[in-house]
Amino acid sequence: MLIDDMGYGDPSVYGNRKVDTPNMDRLAAQGLRLTNFYVNSPICSPSRVAFATGQYPQRWKIHSYLNSRAKNRRRGMADYLDPKAPTIARLLKQHGYATAHFGKWHMGGGRDVDDAPPPQAYGFDESLVSFEGLGDRVLEYNDGLSNASAKLGRGKIQWARKHEKTRIYVDRAIDFIHRHVDKPFYLEVWPNDVHDAHKPVPGEADKYTNVADNAYDAKFLAVLVEMDRQLGRLFDAIDKAGLAENTLIVLTSDNGPTDWPFYYKDGGTPPGSTGGLFGRKWSLYEGGVREPFVARWLGRVPAGKVDTQTIMAGIDLLPTFCHIAGVDLPDDVAPDGQNMTAALMGQPVKRAAPIVWEFGGRRAGIKPGNPDYISPKLSIREGDLKLLINPDGSDAVLIDLSADAHEQRNLAADRPAEVRRLYEQVRSWCDQMNIDTAEPVDLSAIPSPIIFRGDAHTAYRDPTVRYHEGVFHLFFTLVEVESDGQAYSYLATSRSTNLIDWSKPRKLTPRDQNLNYGSPGNIIRFGDQWVMCLQTYPRPNGEPYGNATSRVWTMRSDDLEQWSEPELLRVKGPEVPRGKMGRMIDPYLLRDRDDPGKWWCFYKQHGVSRSWSRDLKTWHYAGRVEGGENVCVIRDGDEYVMFHSPPNGIGIKRSRDLEHWQDQGVLTLGQKQWPWTQGRLTAGFVLDLRGDPRVGKALMFFHGSDYPEKDPRGGFDNFASLGIAWSDDLKHWSWPAKSDGQ
């Protein structure tokens, strides 16, 4: 039994305290349950392919849910599971088993895909599916996808209300059992009523309003209880037929509970429970892929046992079921899973190979409604360690599940060797699955410390960088001196994948007669958007360092390419009028170490000032410390490290609490040898990628001036260049040996 979208915490035996699921609980009491069972995808189609084939679904070009032909093609997916794939049903049928599938299919057929094979092509004698499959099927009244399925034909169709479907599937299953009491059989019952939209028997949801979180939850609970009742009928039929002692029953789910964005409207929450695990459906965090698992076989599977040690996955069912049935696997069937029979018989099994996942981004075509649950696109669990990471090595999250089952502490920066080791395994797996991965960044190949070289008419200053999906997004101040001597300052951007080849700078702000834009502090992820902070100086020329009207701002983006109009950052608090804020420049945003919902903004005003907010709109002033311009604050273990700009060089301070700072000296890097920094070296922005397997260093981006800023030849509006250096420990820095302009 594969339940659709049932979360880890939905059965009461797994912690549901809102309602009881007595029949699933009975199954667990009479058998064994696992606490570390995983599906191989956080979404339906690939998860089901893994169960059916014993192989990773990526081998069959199914890495997200099957949709229309056009959407499948856009995501590089097949339209249906290749009927040549190995399946449990076919292997057992070849050895005398009667086989049947009743319930959701979703491995091909539906929408406009009318040529998908029916379940019989995969080894089933009988089948009755839903709108996401072909052959005989039950379709729902007043449902668009069911109407589309009906137009495809290819099978007998009956119509029903959604709350009636599981009863219909169970009726067919009981009939099948009665007809095969004296013959081996393999039966799949895959209900889909727990998948939203939840449509219980009219009036049933009213029974649960006193325990439900909201109306959506009440409907879900009503559906869950009714599904449990129908499953109880199936269990009773097996027992009454005298089959309990020679029938293995397995119950699990295909992925975590739903997470559509609309559930969060007005502070709401989605229905379904992960039992406290982080993440939900469409996420590689635990709540999306760890599922309930119950097995019962009276007299063989120990009753009431809870196995907290075995790490099992959907790909293990094919080799396990075949072993139990006495079926030797043919030479041309090579499962990715392993035989877990001993675990089902009560002896914990140590997993021979890690479990690997791939899901997310454009290939997925769907993402969690809660942006915090959007995970990196790859994941691997080996023993108690779990790594989540993007194919290019970015956004690494390393979790020790033995100490942190809720995935709240990222150990990637503390254990880089483990990150690299697991990342190499993920990359090897991606190669086997024909999933492209990006090559590591080779810092030794960078020919020069200069990224962009300023001249008499151009200055490049104040860099910041965001690394995302293998791309370095560089933002900086671009100054252009026009023929009349007037200087205009813009916020500009460039991209690179290797830190060598940078795209032509592109302006993000207009040629403004009143404001000069620039000095981007950093880019953070807030909700489902990118947020960048920046500053403005007044124009026209005459006050090159700004005055009391200098302000800080934020801009927002969905893709790091197209940005919104600047929005004033009221870091002194909403009660302070804009005209009385005072001169403030060089903003920088930082998430609090101990309170993830709290954000700090550092900015240059009477030293380095700081304010905090929870929504980036309502700010509270929190004090200041001595320091220079171009503030950058990052975490290094239990400490914060501040980089700032004194009159020359890059100053460093350290703190454990953001209030008490100790000076750590001033960096000048290669200034003595670099003609393009003889005027000043400043504005050090540090991007800490030491825990990133693709980079493995902390990168510093900075700017240098050929001449002092008051030199008549320039040095502020021109002859300023961007450079790069890197470090393992934030103390000792390296850079390319060759310097253009020497």
Q: SS in 3 state form for 58-119?
A: HHHCCCCCCCCHHHHHHCCCCCECCCCCCCHHHHHHCCCCEEEEEECCCCECECCECCCCCH
Domain count across the chain = 3
Q: What is the pLDDT of residue 714?
A: 78
Task: Kindly state whether residue 742 falls inside one of the protein's structural domains.
Answer: no
The band of 439, judged by pLDDT with boundaries at 50, 70 and 90, is: low
Q: What is the pLDDT of residue 548?
A: 82
Q: What is the pLDDT of residue 742?
A: 34
Q: What is the pLDDT of residue 738?
A: 47
Q: What is the pLDDT of residue 436?
A: 59
Instruction: Decide: 398 and 385 in contact? Cβ < 8 Å.
Output: yes
**Stronger pLDDT, 470 or 654, i.e. the higher one:** 654
Same domain, 274 and 172: yes
Rounded distance, CA 425 to CA 431, Å?
10
Tokens 């950058």 -> residue = 632
- In Å, how far from its chain's centre is CA 380? 13
Q: What is the pLDDT of residue 737?
A: 79
Residue 164, C-beta contacts closer than 8 angstroms, at least 6 positions apart: none
Q: What is the pLDDT of residue 709?
A: 77
Same domain, 618 and 704: yes
**Where is average pLDDT lowest: 91-105, 311-325, 623-637?**
623-637
Instruction: Decide: 130 and 192 in contact? Cβ < 8 Å.
Output: yes
Same domain, 416 and 498: no
**At which of 375, 396, 426 does a domain end?**
375
3-state secondary structure of 459: strand
**Residue 483 scores a pLDDT above 90:** yes
**Residue 526 scores a pLDDT above 50:** yes
**Residue 546 scores a pLDDT above 70:** no
The band of 42, judged by pLDDT with boundaries at 50, 70 and 90, is: very high
The band of 542, judged by pLDDT with boundaries at 50, 70 and 90, is: very low
Can you tell me the mean pLDDT for 124-150? Answer: 96
Q: Which two tokens stand for residue 571?
A: 């870091």
Same domain, 188 and 263: yes
The band of 739, judged by pLDDT with boundaries at 50, 70 and 90, is: very low
**Residue 693 scores a pLDDT above 80:** no
Mean pLDDT in the chain? 94
- Give per-residue pLDDT as tens, 395-436: 999 999 999 999 999 999 999 999 999 999 999 999 999 885
Same domain, 180 and 223: yes
Same domain, 450 and 432: no
**Residue 368 scores a pLDDT above 50:** yes
C-alpha distances in Å from residue 190, one per residue of 128, 170, 273, 291, 306 = 10, 10, 19, 15, 24
Segment holding 159, helix H or strand E: strand 157-160
Task: Kindly state whether residue 401 falls inside one of the protein's structural domains.
Answer: yes
**DSSP readout, 499-547?**
SSS-PPPEE-S---SSEEEE----EEEETTEEEEEEEEEESSTT-TT--
- Strands 599-604 and 698-705, by their bridges, are unpaired
Q: Identify the CATH number of the domain in which residue 256 sits.
A: 3.40.720.10
Same domain, 356 and 483: no
3-state secondary structure of 223: helix
**DSSP readout, 282-324?**
T-SSHHHHEEEEEEE-TTTSPTTEEESS--EEGGGHHHHHHHH
Torsion of CA 604, 608, 614, 620, to 10 degrees: -90
Q: Identify the CATH number of the domain in which residue 601 sits.
A: 2.115.10.20
Q: What is the pLDDT of residue 500?
A: 95
Rounded distance, CA 32 to CA 394, Å?
39
Rounded distance, CA 250 to CA 295, Å?
4
Highest mean pLDDT among 30-44, 68-82, 363-377, 656-670: 30-44
Q: What is the pLDDT of residue 75?
A: 83
**Where is average pLDDT lowest: 69-78, 285-294, 463-472?**
69-78
Task: Kindly state whether residue 739 falls inside one of the protein's structural domains.
Answer: no
**At which of 375, 401, 424 does a domain end?**
375
Same domain, 351 and 462: no
Q: What is the pLDDT of residue 440?
A: 66
The reported pTM is 0.65
Task: Kindly state whether residue 380 falls inside one of the protein's structural domains.
Answer: no
Same domain, 223 and 284: yes
- Give per-residue pLDDT as tens, 230-245: 999 999 999 999 999 9
Can you tell me the mean pLDDT for 603-619? Answer: 95
Determine the structural domain holding residue 393 and report its residue range: 387-437
Same domain, 452 and 580: yes
**DSSP readout, 334-352?**
--SS---HHHHTT-----S
**At which of 399, 417, 437 does a domain end?**
437
**Where is average pLDDT lowest: 5-19, 225-239, 538-552?**
538-552
- Give per-residue pLDDT as tens, 85-135: 999 999 999 999 999 999 999 999 999 999 999 999 999 999 999 999 999
**DSSP readout, 597-659?**
T-EEEEEESSSEEEEEESSSSSEEEEEEES--EEEEEEEETTEEEEEEE-SSSEEEEEESSSS
Same domain, 369 and 396: no
- Of 502, 509, 411, which is closest to residue 465 (Cα–Cα)? 502
Q: Is the dihedral of CA 574, 579, 580, 581 positive or negative?
A: positive
Q: Which residues pair with 625 in a beta bridge?
A: 608
**Residue 540 scores a pLDDT above 80:** no
Can you tell me the mean pLDDT for 356-375? Answer: 92
**Stronger pLDDT, 74 or 271, i.e. the higher one:** 271
Segment holding 271, helix H or strand E: none
Can you tell me the mean pLDDT for 165-186? Answer: 98
Q: What is the pLDDT of residue 543?
A: 57
Q: What is the pLDDT of residue 71?
A: 87
Q: What is the pLDDT of residue 544?
A: 57
Q: What is the pLDDT of residue 547?
A: 77
Same domain, 397 and 277: no
